[in-house]
Chain A
Amino acid sequence: DAGVTQSPTHLIKTRGQQVTLRCSPKSGHDTVSWYQQALGQGPQFIFQYYEEEERQRGNFPDRFSGHQFPNYSSELNVNALLLGDSALYLCASSLTEGAKNIQYFGAGTRLSVL
């Protein structure tokens, strides 16, 4: 049973460019959440997708957008990259069951913006 997979593992971009990160959820999961983790910090919630719609959003600008496909996989897009966007981007999947929100993480995509 494959866990959460993310691609690519590493990415180097320059300021102003755009980037797309991809995530396949754990088998049986229908919900995908994206997080940004700066060095030495806990994961910060970006947004969550369920039934192909953005269900919740954290405190991130509109430059961060996403999509969920019918097979539950998801993409995170970041436009007009800033140096401060350099971080580990984590995808987590879960099965929506009310208050129970047990999320399983992928290995992450490390984005460096130069």
Chain B
Amino acid sequence: QKEVEQDPGPLSVPEGAIVSLNCTYSNSAFQYFMWYRQYSRKGPELLMYTYSSGNKEDGRFTAQVDKSSKYISLFIRDSQPSDSATYLCAMSGWQGGSEKLVFGKGMKLTVNP
């Protein structure tokens, strides 16, 4: 089992739709949970991060972490064509005396006007 699993999609939705992106993980040492957005041929851009379980909201974006289920989500409300990108989840924690950061494979999202 991989440490971080993310459905690679692709996912195509109409403009204005609510989008739900998810990742599961197996390593209980993970404490910080991040979402990155990556446009084609560009570097990943940090959207938001959360610590431990709970929700965090930033404008149209909401990140949720459920540590008991080892499941994280990113919700995008009122999706826009400019949201079309690949979304990567990432997780970090302290294990074996060093920090560890692991990425999902990324989910490609297309928002159609």
A contacts with B: majority SS: loop
B contacts with A: majority SS: strand
Q: What CA separation (Å) do A110 and B98 show in the bound complex? A: 29
Q: Size range of the interface on B?
A: 20 to 34
CB neighbours of B61 from chain A (8 A):
none
- A56 near B41 with CB under 8 A, answer no
Best-buried of B49, B99, B103, B105 by chain A (most CB within 10 Å):
B99
Q: Mark B98-113, 1 if CB is under 8 A from A, else 0.
A: 1111111110000000
Q: Mark A93-114, 1 if CB is under 8 A from B, else 0.
A: 0001011111111111010000
Stretch at the interface among B12-20, B31-39, B66-74: B31-39
- B103 near A105 with CB under 8 A, answer no
A-contacting residues, B28-77, CB 8 Å: 31-32, 34, 36, 41-46, 49, 51
Q: Size range of the interface on A?
A: 20 to 34
Q: What CA separation (Å) do A48 and B104 show in the bound complex? A: 19
- B42 near A107 with CB under 8 A, answer yes
- A102 near B104 with CB under 8 A, answer no
Verify if A15 is at the interface (C-beta below 8 Å from B): no
- B43 near A41 with CB under 8 A, answer no
- A99 near B31 with CB under 8 A, answer yes
User: What are 27 A-B interface contacts by the 8 Å CB criterion?
Assistant: A4-B43, A33-B101, A42-B88, A42-B105, A42-B106, A43-B44, A43-B103, A45-B102, A55-B98, A88-B41, A88-B43, A90-B43, A90-B44, A98-B94, A99-B32, A100-B92, A101-B99, A101-B100, A102-B32, A102-B34, A102-B46, A102-B49, A105-B43, A105-B46, A106-B43, A108-B42, A110-B41
